[in-house]
Amino acid sequence: MTLSAPFVLRAAELRDVAAIVQMIRDLAEFEQLGHLVQVTPEKLRPQLFGEKPAAEALVAELVDGDSGGAVVAFALFFTNFSTFLAQPGLYLEDLYVKPGHRGQRIGKALLTRLAALAVERGCGRFEWSVLDWNQSAIRFYENVGATVMPDWRICRVSGDRLAELGALGALASGGR
């Protein structure tokens, strides 16, 4: 296999779920967050292809050589909303290119395709997060025209704390 094997971008299909799950695990290990991963094909499948999908994904697939048909990258995204703009936005949750296929413009192709999709859908923003220590990713994103927002921090409630906060909300609304 050559490192310059051509690829195509396409919407993820059911047959891609196992490959996407593996790349999510690989990404989590790279980010030193493997201990947090709970994804399985069974858990991801309905979120991408169920009755009410919560997210969408694009994949990059090799088209020739010994590895033709291999999925080597993915971008998982969903619609959010900006009250300031009164428009939907596209939020990129994860973008991952397998190490042996980096430097082939696959990541840039995924980002530009998602930007085009955001424009097609009338989105006012295309956003994502990046870890502050991942300088190569920050440089990559800045090189494609993204602004790393220095004044914003992600807030998160999950697990037991989410259950506790939700219970307080249920009490406040009369248990409904």
Residue 120's SS3 state is helix
Q: Write down the pLDDT at residue 56.
A: 98
Q: Decide if 96 is catalytic.
A: no
The pTM for the full model equals: 0.90
Dihedral-angle region of residue 123 (phi above 0 means left; psi in -120 to 50 means alpha; beta otherwise): beta
CATH architecture type of domain 7-149? 3-Layer(aba) Sandwich (3.40)
In which residue are the tokens 């939700």 written?
166
Q: Write down the pLDDT at residue 111.
A: 97
What phi and psi values does residue 70 have, to the nearest 5 degrees?
-75, 135
Residue 34's SS3 state is helix
- Residue 19 identity: A
Least confident interval from 37-41, 120-124, 171-175: 171-175
Query: Which segments of 31-123 does DSSP mark as H helices, in order?
Result: 41-49, 106-120
CA 96 to each of CA 34, 156, 158: distance values in angstroms, whole numbers, following the listed order = 15, 22, 24
| pLDDT (average), residues 137-160 | 92
CA 93 to each of CA 24, 56, 79, 165, 174: distance values in angstroms, whole numbers, following the listed order = 11, 10, 10, 24, 34
**pLDDT, tens only, 35-75:** 999 999 999 999 999 999 999 999 999 998 777 799 999 99
Which residue out of 92, 141, 144, 145 is catalytically annotated?
Answer: 141
